[in-house]
């Protein structure tokens, strides 16, 4: 399996300290592109610009510790030789080793979408994804680590995680965590033994021709447990044949974590405890404030429900998906 971090770590520093000089190696399976190291030990993705595409114009960017320069003539040191070629260069110029690792992982994920001979439009799209992802490291986290862990936990319960990832929310603020044509799935978590969850009225209100399934997960913190990065690795092993879903998984997780990236691996939960606790409920089984009882002019109603006496479904996530999704 492609591992750009290992590849990068083996690269020597370039002898030249010129700004566009790199020690670099071609990326296996994508020989037109290279992973590179500059004299400051900063990683770069070099995207080859063919001669017939060198007249395109995209503005250079320097945002959120990501530096992007297009159509640059680069000096490449490789195998004791020096070659010159034109590349679009995407570089991480920050000081965090953790974020550097994420940059390399992002290169590894996005290179599959980039392809061997990308169009100018495709190059711009990939660059925009880098900028959007690393922008999140300057912003507060958009969701709790516990909530994200539970969503990933549910995805990993499936033998076909690619199906769940297709319906996974694009932003954490969406009403439901997973949305399909006639199915909405909302994941709720609670610390400890009590199955008590927070809801908004909109999450339980009936939707015509659509079923709402509440997935309840209990969690216990454990230093020897499983963290978010561990869950990502478990899921990714099932996604080798689904590069678009792998890309979505990677980008959504890291954009959600935001500035918590430095400590995300320190927060772990007991995987077996959560697996034993996993339950599924139809929305009508959840204690709730009925929509008809909410006065006119009142909105954004939120409440806490105890599911102790709620009847759960005897099922699993794959059986739910099989019922609602057409292969």
168-188 in b/e burial notation, b at 16+ Cβ within 10 A?
A: bbeebeeebbbbbeebbbbbb
- Report which of 255, 219, 224 is spatially closest to residue 109, judged by C-alpha positions: 255
Segments of the chain with pLDDT less than 70 = 1, 50-64, 136-143, 172-173, 258-262, 326-327
258-278 in b/e burial notation, b at 16+ Cβ within 10 A?
A: bebbeebeebbbbbeebeebb
H runs (alpha helix) in 115-172: 120-135, 145-157, 161-167
Percent of the chain having pLDDT more than 90? 53
pLDDT (0 to 100) of residue 261 = 63
pTM of the model: 0.76
pLDDT (0 to 100) of residue 1 = 56
Q: How many residues does the chain have?
A: 327
Distance, CA of 114 to CA of 111 (rounded, Å): 5
pLDDT (0 to 100) of residue 58 = 57
Q: How does strand 178-179 pair with strand 81-92? A: unpaired
Per the listing, tokens 């079923």 go with 211
pLDDT (0 to 100) of residue 159 = 96
239: tokens are 């996604």
Domain residue ranges in the chain: 4-138, 145-324
């Amino acid at each position: 399996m492609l591992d750009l971090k290992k590849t990068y770590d083996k690269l020597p520093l370039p002898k030249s300290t010129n700004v566009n000089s790199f020690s670099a190696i071609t990326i296996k399976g994508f020989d037109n592109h290279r992973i590179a190291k500059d004299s400051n030990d900063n990683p770069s993705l070099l995207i080859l610009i063919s001669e017939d595409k060198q007249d395109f114009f995209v503005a250079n960017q320097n945002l959120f510790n990501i530096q992007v320069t297009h159509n640059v003539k680069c000096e490449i040191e490789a195998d004791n030789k020096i070659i010159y070629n034109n590349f679009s260069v995407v570089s991480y110029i920050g000081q965090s080793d953790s974020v550097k690792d994420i940059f390399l992982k992002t290169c590894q994920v996005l290179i599959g979408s980039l392809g061997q001979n990308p169009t100018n439009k495709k190059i711009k799209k990939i660059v925009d994804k880098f900028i959007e992802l690393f922008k999140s490291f300057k912003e507060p986290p958009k969701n709790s680590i516990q909530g994200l862990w539970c969503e990933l936990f549910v995805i990993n319960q499936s033998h076909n995680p690619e199906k769940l990832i297709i319906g996974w929310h694009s932003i954490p603020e969406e009403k439901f965590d997973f949305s399909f044509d006639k199915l909405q799935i909302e994941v709720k978590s609670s610390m400890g033994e009590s199955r008590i969850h927070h809801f908004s009225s909109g999450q339980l209100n009936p939707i015509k021709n659509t079923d709402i399934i509440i997935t309840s997960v209990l969690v216990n913190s454990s230093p020897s447990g499983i963290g978010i990065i561990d869950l990502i690795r478990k899921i990714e092993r099932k996604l080798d044949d689904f590069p678009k879903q792998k890309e979505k998984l990677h980008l959504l997780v890291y954009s959600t974590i935001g500035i918590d990236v430095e400590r995300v691996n320190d927060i772990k939960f007991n995987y077996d405890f959560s697996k034993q606790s996993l339950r599924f409920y139809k929305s009508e089984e959840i204690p709730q404030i009925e929509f008809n009882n909410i006065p006119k002019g009142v909105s954004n109603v939120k409440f806490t429900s105890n599911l102790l006496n709620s009847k759960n479904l005897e099922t699993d996530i794959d059986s739910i998906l099989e019922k609602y999704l057409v292969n």
